[in-house]
Structure 1
């Protein structure tokens, strides 16, 4: 099985209600997915990612723009004629039916295959997603992870041109998420379906996606590989939304000699020249800060959390209102109110315009 390219052109969705202001849920987004690519659509609740998915699937009307699958517009086709598979967050399984019957239901309803072919396809997809031993079970007897695999298998069995996954791991506990995430990546690469994964979980997007589109307020803020999104965020929102522990964002003023003044006693080197007097936001990820015995920025330990594989220190820089978070080596032990010095490599420091939030790199 192979995927088919998917393109969104100026796709828009506006909700209108009599007597109420209209709401622009999706504000003209453009995306072009290569055949077999997995794109993560990442953003907070209400950013428009699920609305985008539902428009692609044909479950939501389109206010403007176009949707092309394999180069052909599908925006006027009803959902059942788009050959797009969807695995929903809530599984949407039929309780009275066995796993095998759930998988076969769509094929039989559309009368797309003879009885023998349906049975063969059910067995094939069950083997691929690890459901062979559960074909006779009812949904009530399945774990959350097993239900998610049935939902995925039901979307895959129709051999869709495009696969849409709506928060597929949100109901799973931590252990199940890790296992199912690895299975999902294997299955998607084996079958080669062009896939959009809708999620608010950055770890999910970073680990699964070939590229990520970060959304906010119905607009794509940045589109790129996981490394591009993490290492070169386009603006403050992307920098703050992607990364765990979160990036530290410190307001300052450029002094014209390659540094920003964070307080009367704290100045930090910038990665690029910035005009003197310009208000900036300096972003430093916890793993890009180093503790030092001398020649560092003066700081005081507010808290230190030993986390076995590493530690997490919260520091107060002299005269700076916001705290700096630092990832420490596992053997480091810091006491409350202990004085330390810190350094940050300018090459791994981010700088944003304070007014627009856009990156200045």
Structure 2
């Protein structure tokens, strides 16, 4: 197992007659041996560019990449002990699965045919694809192709494993199954790994820590629980969570509350200077239907068997409030309900900067 460190890592694209584009801006992250870090963010945020720089597929504009304490920035991709599972699988169509797995070992040399066959068989059994070794990629499902791509990355016994949107082409059922397999394989192998994804569920379920990225910068780095329960700013709060967090603008009253309208006041965890413009973040699952709470009108209710999602309207508040309800709840449009929220589960953000107020 090997540590991985990114030190002030930057990537700037330049072109004739075009303004420079900063794709990655001073990324600083250290991964422990065996840790899986999720790079989570929307398309174009710099996560795949970061992955490609680590793999040696993109030149580095500035900063350093250290594997096991040694810089690899000057090394070509083939000399870095890194395995990559690409988003598009990148399997060789004319070759059997066994030949796909053994191709890299044969190309690099140092392994005889018998050793390659042994390692291919061992890896196939470990990943659960032994029955596929004589098949060709065209006859495989998306989930099977993904397992083959992962096996090919692991067969090199790399110091670092890079996973680029590994589940993006799978349907919902395949994604759930492959995600569980991927987590088991990474834990069993003990590889230090980076997972690039725009899927929050994927990151929250697989990663030991998550770096939420936006415009080439890390907005917050922490455990899944820290990212979800203590978002650093409005972007992180809004990006992570399904259904999405409720974001309600208001004004602090200086007495431990925030006014959302003349008739709606929400208690918050700490006092904020009177008159300060803030945004309250309330997750839908943290709102409870309660006979003693504030009055709200039902705009819509979706019963989803295991739970429900209600969209409510608060008096004088323009933004709707989304609430997760119990499976037994049935609401009709224009029904009146009362709601409460635990102040300790309410997030407060500065309206100008978007930063969380602690």
TM-score tier after normalising by the smaller chain length: over 0.9
Q: Indicate the SS of the match to 1:326.
A: strand
CA–CA distance in structure 1, aligned partners of residues 281 and 134 of structure 2: 54
Offset at 1:78? 0.2
In structure 2, the residue matched to 1:35 is 33
CA–CA distance in structure 1, aligned partners of residues 111 and 193 of structure 2: 24
Q: Does 1:122 align with 2:120?
A: yes
Q: Indicate the SS of the match to 2:306.
A: coil
Number of aligned pairs?
Answer: 358
CA–CA distance in structure 2, aligned partners of residues 207 and 35 of structure 1: 19
In structure 1, the residue matched to 2:173 is 175
2:106 to 100, 108, 122: 108
CA–CA distance in structure 2, aligned partners of residues 112 and 30 of structure 1: 36
Offset at 1:339? 1.1
CA–CA distance in structure 1, aligned partners of residues 315 and 301 of structure 2: 18
Q: Does 1:230 align with 2:228?
A: yes
CA–CA distance in structure 1, aligned partners of residues 186 and 283 of structure 2: 31
Offset at 1:116? 1.2
Post-superposition Cα deviations, 1:175-233, rounded to whole Å, max 9, x if no partner, equal 00000000000000000000000000000000000000000000000000000000000
Offset at 1:297? 1.5
Offset at 1:273? 1.4
Offset at 1:240? 0.4
> TM-score by structure 1 length?
0.99
Post-superposition Cα deviations, 1:95-133, rounded to whole Å, max 9, x if no partner, equal 000000000000000003111111111011101111101
Offset at 1:61? 0.4
Offset at 1:272? 1.5
Offset at 1:63? 0.3
In structure 2, the residue matched to 1:304 is 301
| Alpha-carbon RMSD | 0.6
In structure 1, the residue matched to 2:310 is 313
1:339 to 313, 333, 336: 336
Post-superposition Cα deviations, 1:294-351, rounded to whole Å, max 9, x if no partner, equal 3x12210000000001110000110000000000011111110111111110000100
In structure 2, the residue matched to 1:215 is 213
CA–CA distance in structure 1, aligned partners of residues 269 and 39 of structure 2: 29
Q: Which runs of 4+ in 1 moved over 6 A?
A: none
CA–CA distance in structure 1, aligned partners of residues 163 and 201 of structure 2: 16
List gaps (5 residues or longer) in structure 2: none
CA–CA distance in structure 1, aligned partners of residues 192 and 91 of structure 2: 23
CA–CA distance in structure 2, aligned partners of residues 352 and 81 of structure 1: 46
Q: Does 1:85 align with 2:73?
A: no
2:354 to 334, 346, 357: 357
> TM-score by structure 2 length?
0.99
Offset at 1:56? 0.1
In structure 2, the residue matched to 1:161 is 159
CA–CA distance in structure 2, aligned partners of residues 114 and 68 of structure 1: 31
